[in-house]
Amino acid sequence: MRVLGVDPGLTRCGVGVVEGVAGRPLTMIGVGVVRTPSDAELGDRLVAIEQGIEQWLDEHSPGYVAVERVFAQHNVRTVMGTAQASAVAMLCAARRGIPVALHTPSEVKAAVTGSGRADKAQIGAMVTRLLRLDAPPKPADAADALALAICHIWRAPAQNRLQQAVAAHRTSGASRTPGVPGASRTSGAAGAPRTTGTPGTPRTLKGRTA
């Protein structure tokens, strides 16, 4: 499995490619940052991010793209820029038919370090250890992108099993005969015994009273 992790941002958009499967040593294929000048127009910055991500997709041909899920922050301007860069990354992947997965920061931290409250230094140290690197990737956005890719590789098998279970449950539910749950399938009123003849009249058998 080859995954492109994207840590979205307008000024620095971290990107990192990791290859491997859960339970085995992982390999870093590439890591870097797509930068845009802070004084450029917003549209031009988004185009630059798109071009940068497209270049990474062309060069490394990942099978999946993992993007950090945007969450609320006190700085509205920052979260808006992050959301816009995130949308560009998802657009680039969707245009090529590459599956996109969103992972929250706490989810990534817990997967890589074991703690959902880990700081940037801890993430960088664990990424360095897991990928057997000589030093933590710089800047921190690059390390975060690799952490996203690692998180997806490790969690993808469980997510796939969950999706398969949900799909199987929906299929089995659709195949059942529609009706009111618990109601007996009778030609009479619900709950009423099936009888022949006129209600209240004794049934007869070969002309004798039963």
Active-site amino acid positions: 7, 68, 141
- Distance between CA atoms of residues 35 and 122, nearest Å: 24
Query: Under a CB-based contact definition with an 8 Å cutoff, are residues 148 and 108 in contact?
Result: yes
Q: What's the distance, CA 203 to chain centroid? A: 66
Query: Under a CB-based contact definition with an 8 Å cutoff, are residues 27 and 19 in contact?
Result: yes
Closest listed residue to residue 114, CA positions, set 145, 66, 156, 151: 151
Closest listed residue to residue 149, CA positions, set 55, 83, 56: 56
Query: Under a CB-based contact definition with an 8 Å cutoff, are residues 104 and 7 in contact?
Result: no
In the numeric block, the tokens 């360095």 are attached to 128
- Distance between CA atoms of residues 140 and 25, nearest Å: 22
DSSP label at residue 1: -
Q: Strand, helix or coil at 140?
A: helix
